[in-house]
Amino acid sequence: MIKATAGGGGRGMRVVEHEDDLISYAEITMQEAKNAFGNEKIYLEKFIANPRHIEVQIVGDGKGHAIHLGTRDCSMQRRHQKIIEEAPARNINEDALNKTYEACINLCKKIKYEGVGTIEFLYENDEFYFIEMNTRIQVEHPVTEMITGFDLVKAQLRIALNMNISLNQNDIKFSGHSMECRINAEDPETFQPSPGKITKMHTPGGFGIRYDSHIYGGLPFLPIMIRY
């Protein structure tokens, strides 16, 4: 697998299946990376063919204290974009998970991580492999909030404002299972991005349902609002 060092969101990477393709694919990826990210640097890593995408939510106060808020399973993707996210991830090797939690906390303490963040992994054959760390709140954060009752946005704001925050791992209790579904503005036949007016909208509700969005019936959905 060839990857751009500045890539992300599934962009700037290419699988090399035949040795003869290595040089030409590297050159193509470098050019694409230069155009997309302004940085043509690339690196190589083993292609893991059929992994799950598991991520660990962390919070650090910038003073060397950090906790984790468990896992999310974001394996359900299309074109490297997450579609359905769940918390917690099920059927994970417990020993591997505990070691990974410990290593994640070590990393956050080592760099005195400040704010909320997500450490993303590929998971295959009971092994976790680090992909990247997203140093921000993520779209899928609500599924973690739903099973922990921990308000990640509030924590991020408190940390940013240098307010007191208690980060004690023993205070984090996990309960239940949560799923999130992203709805994309696409043509239902071609699956191409499809801006336009939202003519009708009925939001879900009820016990255990959480709905996060800015959209409403009548809203013109502009091309800039579509994530390609």
Partner 1 sequence: MGDKITAKTLAEEAGIQIVPGYKEDIPMMKKNLKKLQKILVIQ
Rounded to the nearest whole angstrom, what is the least distance from the CB of residue 186 to partner 1 in the complex?
29
Positive or negative, the CA dihedral 113, 82, 49, 26 is negative
- Is 90 an annotated catalytic residue? no
Residue of 11, 14, 72, 136 marked active site: 136
Which amino acid would we find at residue 26?
A
Residue 92, interface with partner 1 (CB under 8 A)?
no
**Cα(33)–Cα(9) distance, rounded to whole angstroms?**
13
* Total residues found in the chain within this entry: 228
Q: For residues 41 and 5, is the Cβ–Cβ distance under 8 A?
A: yes
Residue 123, interface with partner 1 (CB under 8 A)?
no
Which amino acid would we find at residue 198?
I
Q: In the complex with partner 1, which residue's Cβ is closer, 132 or 151?
A: 132
**Cα(41)–Cα(38) distance, rounded to whole angstroms?**
9
What's phi and psi for 26, nearest 5 deg?
-65, -45
What's phi and psi for 3, nearest 5 deg?
-130, 145
Residue 126, interface with partner 1 (CB under 8 A)?
no
Q: In the complex with partner 1, which residue's Cβ is closer, 109 or 193?
A: 109
Residue ranges in 44-63 that form contacts with partner 1 under rule CB under 8 A? 44-46, 48
Q: In the complex with partner 1, which residue's Cβ is closer, 43 or 191?
A: 43
Site of interaction with partner 1 (CB under 8 A): 1, 3-7, 19, 22-23, 26-27, 30, 39-46, 48, 100, 102-104, 106-107, 110-111, 119, 122, 127-133, 135
Could you give the residue numbers annotated as active site? 136
